[in-house]
């Protein structure tokens, strides 16, 4: 009885430790993301009158009009959306976002006196967009957000035929276009460049440089191809049962997951065994578990 109790207490302690480690990791990455976001804004974009999309862009314009610290508007404008996020998405997301917004607001306040790294608007748009995108990506990967626009888009999406991405794009184009009336049309165009680069860097940060791909292969030589992929590419494969819709014949479908850098090698391996094999490749945003570990390719 005492052994069972001790084992139970050990498991409970282990779960608490794992939870504490995950919480610490989340705090670190959200803090780092918010810090990078603040650098991108205060050191590159804001001094050159270049804005970002969403609540951040509106906050930059309001700060310009009222001559008040940017952090004040970032906090005040995001608070209503944090409440909506708590109700519609969940408390973990809401608290992570709240922490990120507070850290971002503090960061922009501390960096406001720091002089701009460059007065060239193109350089500011490029490097500011890169740093901004990496910061936002880190926060999103940690389960939070730094802008309430996405929350609004999710709510509108439930009652409209438009996707979340389309809604965010429309709102941001309107906000970025408004920069033309505030800072001039050349700065509005630089803002579009910064926004585009930031979006791309968000994708890279969330998905990683080694973007994963799912692969389906249909071939009569499925066993030989599957063994070759396991031995030469170092990937685990799964055989799925399929049936041809036209012929009604039973078929084996090979399923595996690779990185985009391994795609060319996979196709060459398949072609060695069956030049007429059917191959379908798709993008995957996240992979966990299984035999998805990098091995030597030969």
Q: What is the pLDDT of residue 209?
A: 57
- Strands lying side by side in the sheet with 278-284: 238-243, 250-259, 212-218, 278-284
Q: What is the pLDDT of residue 13?
A: 65
Count, in order, helices (H) and strands (E) of the chain: 10, 4
How many CA atoms does the CB half-sphere of 226 hold within 13 Å? Answer: 17
Greatest alpha-carbon span in the chain: 76
Contact yes or no for 152/87 (Cβ under 8 A): no
pTM: 0.70
Q: What is the pLDDT of residue 211?
A: 67
Q: What is the pLDDT of residue 289?
A: 61
CB environment 135-148: b (16+ within 10 A), e (fewer): bbbbbbbbbbbbbb
Successive 10-residue mean pLDDT values, the chain, 298 residues: 54 67 88 93 91 87 88 87 73 84 90 89 94 89 79 70 69 84 88 89 73 86 89 85 76 85 84 90 70 50
Q: What is the pLDDT of residue 121?
A: 92
The alpha carbons of the chain give a radius of gyration, in whole angstroms, of: 24
């Amino acid at each position: 009885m005492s052994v069972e109790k001790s084992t139970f207490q050990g498991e409970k302690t282990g779960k608490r430790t794992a939870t504490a480690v995950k919480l610490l990791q989340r705090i670190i990455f959200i803090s780092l993301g918010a810090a990078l976001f603040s650098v991108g804004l205060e050191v590159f974009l804001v001094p050159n009158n270049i804005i970002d999309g969403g609540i951040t862009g509106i906050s930059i314009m309001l700060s310009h009009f009222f001559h008040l610290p940017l952090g004040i508007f970032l906090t005040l404008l995001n608070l209503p959306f944090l409440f909506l996020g708590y109700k519609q998405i969940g408390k973990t997301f809401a608290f992570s976002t709240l922490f990120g917004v507070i850290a971002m607001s503090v960061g922009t306040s501390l960096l406001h006196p720091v002089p701009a790294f460059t007065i060239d608007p193109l350089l500011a748009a490029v490097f500011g967009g890169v740093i901004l995108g990496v910061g936002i990506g880190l926060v999103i990967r940690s389960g939070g957000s730094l802008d309430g626009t996405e929350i609004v888009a999710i709510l509108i999406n439930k009652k409209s035929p438009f996707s979340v991405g389309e809604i965010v794009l429309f709102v941001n184009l309107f906000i970025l276009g408004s920069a033309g009336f505030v800072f001039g049309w050349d700065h509005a165009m630089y803002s579009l460049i910064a926004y585009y680069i930031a979006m791309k860097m968000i994708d890279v940060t969330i998905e990683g440089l080694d973007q994963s791909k799912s692969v389906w292969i249909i071939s009569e030589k499925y066993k030989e191809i599957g063994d070759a992929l396991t031995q030469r590419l170092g990937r685990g494969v799964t055989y799925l049962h399929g049936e041809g819709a036209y012929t009604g014949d039973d078929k084996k479908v090979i399923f595996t997951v690779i990185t985009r850098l391994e795609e060319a090698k996979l196709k060459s391996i398949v072609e060695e065994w069956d030049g007429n094999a059917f191959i379908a490749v798709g993008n995957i945003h996240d992979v966990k578990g299984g035999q998805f570990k990098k091995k030597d390719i030969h």
